[in-house]
Structure formats: C-alpha cells, structure tokens
Amino acid sequence: MSAEFLSICEYLPARLKKSLLMLDGEKKSTCEEIRLRANKPLCLTVKNKVLYVSSSGQTSEHITGNTVSVSISEIKETFLNLCKNSVYAHEKELKQGFIILPYGSRAGVCGNFGDSALCDVSSVNIRIAHEVIGCADTVLPYIKSGTVILGAPGSGKTTLLRDIVRMLSYKNKRISVIDSRGEISGSSRGVSYLDLGPNTDILLIKNKALGCEMALRTLYPEIIAFDEIGNMAELKSVMQLLNAGVSIITTAHIGNENDILRRNITRSLLESGAVENVVLLSEKSRKIPRVFSVSEILSNYDY
C-alpha cells in the first residue's frame, strides 16, 4: 500500500510531495485519497476520515495555521504530470472526468468542462487503489454461482471483487473481467498491474453490456465479472449470460441495507435469478463481509 502511495506522490509538485513524504508510515499505508483543491488545504482521506496535512507532515481533523494550501499552479502541474504532458491522449477519460493511473489508482478531475475539452482544472482527487490479497478468503467458500457484492461507496467492493476473481482464476476457472475504468485490473496503456490470476481475460471497454456480449462470444468464459451494475442494459446482458450458463460476479452501490430492495436495479437483479449469493459490505463490517443467499434477502427485507 505504501508503494502505491509513494508512486502517487511522484505526480505531485515538490512542495506537496515533501509534506506527504513526511507523513508517518501508518497514514501512508492506510491513505485512501489525496485531494487537491485550488487555493484550499491539502487533505487526505484515511479510514473514511478527512485529515488536513501540515507542512511538517502532521495531520489534523481541523485546518490549522500550518496546513498546506494548494495553489492553482500546483493543481495545473499535478494535472499535467498525471497526463504525462499528453492531455490529448487522455481525452476520452477526461470527458468522463478522470484519468486512469497505473496500479488501479484513479484521479478524478474537476474543472470547467467546455464543449470540447476540460479547461481550468480546479481540483484533483487521487484515489489510491489497494490490492488486498486474501480478503476474499472468508467469502470464497460460499460463492458457488452468481454473486453480487453490495456496499456503500468506499466500502471495498472493487477490492473484494478483485480478490474473488484472482482466487477463482487460480482455481482454474476461466474468467472474463469487463473493466470499464481499469480499476479492477489496474490497467493503464494496455498493461495490467494487479494480479487477477492466470486464467483471467480482461476487456477494457466502457460499455459493459457490449463487453459481456463480446466475452460470451469469443472468450468462452465460465464466469464474467464486472464492477457496478447500474442500468437496465447491463441487467439485460446479465440475463443473456444466465441463459448461456455463465455465472456472474458483480457489485452494486447501496447506501445502507434498506436500499437493497428499494433500488430498482438491485431488486431486479436479485429477482432475476442471475445471482444466488449476496455479499454485504458495510463500514462496520469492512473486514468481515456478510454473505446471504438471495432467498434470505428477499424474504427478510421489506420493500
């Protein structure tokens, strides 16, 4: 984890890099996000808490006199470094508001989104990916067929999905991963930096429904995995996969457990029969995901 943090620091201007490198080891290894906003304090997200960084590497939950402030020129410098001085080469990603970095990290970019391009970048949020090898140990025995991982943003859905794919791939399951943002595989410029196992094919394609169709026709997978099922087109492709005898592993956002059946997409997914297991992640149970069968969920939760 610290290695990813250090690699992210290389994109930052010298002054900010110096402050971040003075952080203690624990903060470096547990840091989830580095947020830079023009003329605002430099802050980190560590274990879901926002911390402000001082010039001496100390952190605080409040803004102090020593808190490092990020200048507009430093934002611009960071942005150009993230693009490796090739803004045009990242146009497609920037239109969606982010830049994919090696090792699965992602930099969300905010600014003035003009008609043709992003101009006047005002803030950058660098989300540090962390591969947790072995985090799927507790859930893998229960995953026999279709599985959906539910949780709030930042609860570790992608991390768990990645590890499940890795472990199943090492058990010689043929897996196709539809990776729309390069987050699952940590891919950048055609190179996958995270371990998804020896039997995994990775499709980097924005349209997940189309990706599922392509994988089904050409890669003959036993399992198809993708992140964040979010619309009816993707659900429709899931049904096609079910009809073709392919299992799916996917994730979906929920705010809390009551949202499972309130959200149309999650309810439709559970009722479709495409998934048999639900893995529930919450902030409290981050390290110990809970596994339910779909019938349990459908019978126990109220609409």
Partner 1 sequence: MIIKLSGVCFIMFCAYAAGSVKSHSLIARKNALQDVLKGIKMLKTRLLYSDFEIQTVLYESFFECECISLCGNKAYVCGNELKKEDTELLSQFFSLLGTSDRNSECERAKMYENLLSDRLCDAESEAKSGCRLIKTLSICIGLAVCILII
Lookup: tokens for 229: 């099922």
Query: What minimum distance in Å lies between the beta carbon of 281 and partner 1?
Result: 35
Three-class SS of residue 137? coil
What is the dihedral angle through the alpha carbons of 92, 230, 288, 1, rounded to the nearest 10 degrees? 0
Half-sphere exposure of 215 (CA within 13 A, CB side): 32
Give whichever of 119 and 288 is closer to partner 1, judged by the CB atom.
119
Q: Which residue, 154, 248, 165, is CA-closest to 208? A: 248
Query: What minimum distance in Å lies between the beta carbon of 105 and partner 1?
Result: 17
Q: Is 80 in the site for partner 1 (CB under 8 A)?
A: yes
Contact 214, 186 (CB under 8 A): no
Query: What minimum distance in Å lies between the beta carbon of 96 and partner 1?
Result: 14
Query: What minimum distance in Å lies between the beta carbon of 76 and partner 1?
Result: 9
Query: What minimum distance in Å lies between the beta carbon of 83 and partner 1?
Result: 7
Q: Is 72 in the site for partner 1 (CB under 8 A)?
A: no
Give bridge partners of residue 52 from the DSSP assignment: 43, 60
Give bridge partners of residue 175 from the DSSP assignment: 200, 223
Q: Contacts with partner 1: how many residues (CB under 8 A)?
A: 15
Q: Is 10 in the site for partner 1 (CB under 8 A)?
A: no
DSSP strand pairing (31-37 vs 43-46): antiparallel
**Which residues are within 8 A (CB) of 298 and not within 5 positions of it... i.e. 6 or more apart?**
261, 270, 271
Give whichever of 114 and 245 is closer to partner 1, judged by the CB atom.
114
Residues of this chain, 81-120, that bind partner 1 according to CB under 8 A: 83-89, 91-92, 94, 116-118
Site string for partner 1, 170-199 (x = CB under 8 A): -------------------x----------
Residues that bind partner 1 (CB under 8 A): 80, 83-89, 91-92, 94, 116-118, 189
